[in-house]
Amino acid sequence: MTEQNFKAASILLVDDDDVDAMGIERALKKMKLANPFYRARDGIEGLEMLRNKSIEQPYMLLLDLNMPRMTGIEMLKELRSDPTLRGTVVFVLTTSDEDQDKLAAYNEHIAGYIVKTKLDTGFDELLKLLDCYWRLVELPINE
């Protein structure tokens, strides 16, 4: 086990819905997880935070698709064409279960596509998944 795995991975949520942001914070608190949590309201704000390096490394992205100013797919395309950010681990978290959205997201090499309506018991399951994920999976560190 390398050193970085002792440091809890940060979670950046890019989503315009305040209730979802509250839900994740609530679930983090409830499950007593110490991961640093950041929130951006759209793709532009999310990219800014990543490029300013204001997010503690390593990090994982939870990305909504339908947002004002810059949608999730647009932000994914930006990320994948950015030489320093292209390796970012992204989970899409959206209400849309349209096949075309899933296809478009997986084409941008996301780690997983999660439909919000399937999370029956709030975000607990999602956070369990993320907790497992950062403990087992090596996350990239950007220079």
Partner 1 sequence: MSTYTSDGTAEIITAPLKMPPYFLYVVLAICLAPYCLSLLGVNFASAAPPLDLHAAADLPAHQQIELMFNRLSGAFTHTILEWSAFCVAILTVFLAASHYFISKNLTTLVIGAALFLAGCMDAFHTLAADRLIHAVADNRDLIPFTWAICRVFNALILIGGVTLLLSHRAKASETTNLKLLAVAFIVSVTVAYGIIHYSAASSSLPQTQFPDNVITRPYDVIPLLLYLFAGLFLFPYFYRQHPSVFAHALVIAMIPEVLVELHMAFGSTALFDAHFNMAHFLKIFAYAVPFFGLLMDYIHTYEHKEEEAKARALTEQHLQKYTRELERSNKELNDFAYVASHDLKAPLRGIMQLASWIEEDIKDHLEDQTREYLQLLHNRTHRLEQLLNDLLAYSRVGRKHGDLKTIEVGEFSKELFRLLNPPPGFTLVCDNEVPSLCTLSVPLEQILRNLINNAIKHHDRTEGSIRISAQATVDGFEFAVTDDGPGIAVDQQQRIFGIFQTLKPRDEVEGSGMGLAIVKKLLDNYHCHIHVESDGQRGTTMRFNWPADATLRSLIHD
Residues that bind partner 1 (CB under 8 A): 17, 19-20, 23, 26, 66, 94-98, 116-117, 122
Minimum separation from the CB atom of position 102 to partner 1 (A): 13
> Smallest Cα–Cα separation from 11: which of 47, 45, 52, 56?
56
Complex with partner 1: residue 51 or 128, whichever CB lies closer: 128
Q: Which two tokens stand for residue 8?
A: 């809890």
Give CA–CA dist 49/10, Å, rounded. 13
Cβ 37 vs Cβ 13: under 8 Å: yes
Residue nearer to partner 1 on the CB measure, 56 or 124: 124
d(CA 55, CA 38): 7
CB of 3 to partner 1, least distance (A): 37
Cβ at position 19, least distance to partner 1 in Å: 4
Toward partner 1, which CB reaches closer, 10 or 94? 94
